[in-house]
Amino acid sequence: MTSNRLGELLVRNNLINSQQLTKALEEQKTQGGRLGASLVKLGFIKEDELASFLSRQYGVPSINLNDFEIDAAVTKLITAEVAQKYQIIPINRAGATLIVAMSDPSNIFAIDDIKFMTGYNVEVVVASETAIRNAIDQYFDQSATLAEVMEDLDDIDLEVIDEEEVDVNALEKATEDAPVVKLVNLILTDAIKRKASDIHIEPYEKSFRVRYRIDGVLYEVMKPPMKLKNAITSRIKIMSEMDIAERRLPQDGRIKIKLPGGKDMDYRVNCLPTLFGEKICLRLLDKSNLQLDMTKLGYEESALKWFKEQIHKPFGMVLVTGPTGSGKTVSLYSALAELNKVTENISTAEDPVEFNFAGINQVQMHEEIGLNFASALRAFLRQDPDIIMIGEIRDFETAEIGVKAALTGHLVLSTLHTNDAPSTINRLLNMGIEPFLVASAVNLITAQRLGRRVCSECKEIEDVPKQALIDAGAPPEEVDEYVCYRGKGCPACNNTGYKGRVGIYQVMPMFEEIRELILAGANTAEIKRESMRLGVKTMRQSALTKLKEGATTFEEVLRSTVADD
Question: ∠ CA 281-166-154 to the nearest 5 degrees?
Answer: 65
Q: How is residue 480 annotated by DSSP?
A: G
Segment 309-329 shows an average pLDDT of: 92
Average pLDDT taken over every residue of the chain = 86
pLDDT digits (tens, 9 = 90+) for 334-371: 999 999 999 999 999 998 888 888 899 999 988 889 89
Which helix (DSSP H) or strand (DSSP E) does residue 145 occupy?
helix 143-155
Q: How confident is the model at residue 162 (pLDDT cuts 50, 70, 90)?
A: very low
Segment 133-138 shows an average pLDDT of: 77
> Which of the two residues, 161 and 279, has the higher pLDDT score?
279
Q: What is the dihedral of CA 213, 214, 217, 219, to 10 degrees?
A: -70
Q: What is the C-alpha separation between 80 and 68, in angstroms, rounded?
A: 19
Report the candidate in 104, 194, 190 with the shortest Cα–Cα distance to residue 147. 190
pLDDT digits (tens, 9 = 90+) for 55-91: 887 788 888 877 777 887 788 888 877 887 888 888 8
Helix, strand and coil content of the chain, in percent to the nearest 5, comes to 45, 20, 35
**Most confident listed range (137-146, 360-369, 538-547):** 538-547
Q: How confident is the model at residue 260 (pLDDT cuts 50, 70, 90)?
A: low
Segment 127-152 shows an average pLDDT of: 68
Segment 210-235 shows an average pLDDT of: 90
Q: Is the pLDDT of residue 3 over 60?
A: no
> In the prediction, which pLDDT does 354 show?
81
Q: What is the C-alpha separation between 323 and 335, in angstroms, rounded?
A: 19
> In the prediction, which pLDDT does 261 show?
60
Note if the pTM is more than 0.85.
no
Q: What is the C-alpha separation between 14 and 196, in angstroms, rounded?
A: 37
pLDDT digits (tens, 9 = 90+) for 403-455: 999 999 999 999 999 989 999 999 999 999 999 999 999 999 999 999 999 99
> Which of the two residues, 52 and 144, has the higher pLDDT score?
52
> In the prediction, which pLDDT does 428 show?
95
pLDDT digits (tens, 9 = 90+) for 107-133: 888 888 888 888 888 888 888 887 887
